[in-house]
Amino acid sequence: MSHLMALNTPLQDPSAVDDTRIPTILAAQSVGRQVSILVVDHHPVVQHGVRLFLDDQPRFTVAATAASGARAVSEARRVRPDVALLEPWLPDMLLEELVEHLRASSPNTRLLAFASQVTPTLREQVARLGFHGLLSKGAEPEDLAATIARVAGGETVALPPSDSVLRQAAAKLHCSVLTAREHEILRLAAHGASNSEIASEIFLAPTTVKSYLQSALAKLGARNRVEAVYKLGAVGLL
């Protein structure tokens, strides 16, 4: 899956860009009602843990769970969820077949792959099948919640870049290496989000978001978030 571009115009000198010209934000912020979710995973512990976490979030409701492809299709037809959180490797059905049946049963359901191992092959597969997101089961709970909200809101959400990609970018920019969290916050800022909006999106306090932004700007040697966005765009990290 490709990262959302922060700016739709060609890169220019960041000193000439005003903050107000950064495009506005985040379809996920528009999700005001509860998001209904179908959780599909053949591991009972994972299924149960995810359900407990999501049911504790006010913006979500787990409408159904399934441990097989056949049950997933049946439940999707019954509850028509906003988002299906899918384990890619089910014992009874190939992913391609599952996606085909889910789309026939509930065409408006958005698909989020939730995988224990995220390999290059899986990345290519979910992109080819038109998934709206891919997330590792090793993600933090707040990242799971934020990703579901963004997918429900209309975004296609990529995994954060790997540590090696962030190190390569830092080498090109001759700066310190950003953490995955710093990169994510800058990516959201690139879409025009305020600190409060970012905090709501990724379940952090605004003061924590501010600290991450300040750290990222210092690492990049950037005077403001516009210049930071320019630098990340120059190395393909947006």
CATH at 215: 1.10.10.10
**Residues 77 and 137 grouped into a single domain:** yes
Q: What are phi and psi of 60, to 5 degrees?
A: -120, 155
pTM above 0.85, yes or no: no
> For residue 220, what pLDDT is reported?
95
Domain boundary residue, one of 109, 132, 152: 152
> For residue 42, what pLDDT is reported?
94
Structurally, how many domains does the chain consist of? 2
Q: Contact at 8 Å (CB) between 142 and 204?
A: yes
Q: Contact at 8 Å (CB) between 133 and 123?
A: no
**Residues 120 and 228 grouped into a single domain:** no
**Residues 46 and 136 grouped into a single domain:** yes
- What digits encode the pLDDT tens for the residues 110-127? 999 999 887 767 888 888
Over its length of 238 residues, how does the chain's per-residue pLDDT go in tens digits?
333 323 233 333 433 333 332 322 333 334 457 999 999 999 999 999 999 999 999 999 999 999 999 999 999 999 999 999 999 999 999 999 999 999 999 999 999 999 988 776 788 888 889 999 999 888 889 889 989 998 999 988 876 666 777 888 889 999 999 988 898 899 888 888 899 998 887 778 999 999 999 999 999 999 998 999 899 888 877 6
Identity of the residue numbered 221 = G
Whole-number Cα distances in Å, 100 to 94, 108, 115, 131: 10, 13, 19, 12
> For residue 8, what pLDDT is reported?
31
Domain limits at 63?
A: 27-152
Classified as helix, coil or strand, 124 is: helix
> For residue 32, what pLDDT is reported?
56
**Residues 121 and 42 grouped into a single domain:** yes
Q: Contact at 8 Å (CB) between 1 and 131?
A: yes
Residue 120 burial (CB count, 10 A) = 7
Domain boundary residue, one of 123, 152, 181: 152
In a domain, 2, yes or no: no
**Residues 186 and 202 grouped into a single domain:** yes
Strands 35-40 and 110-115: unpaired
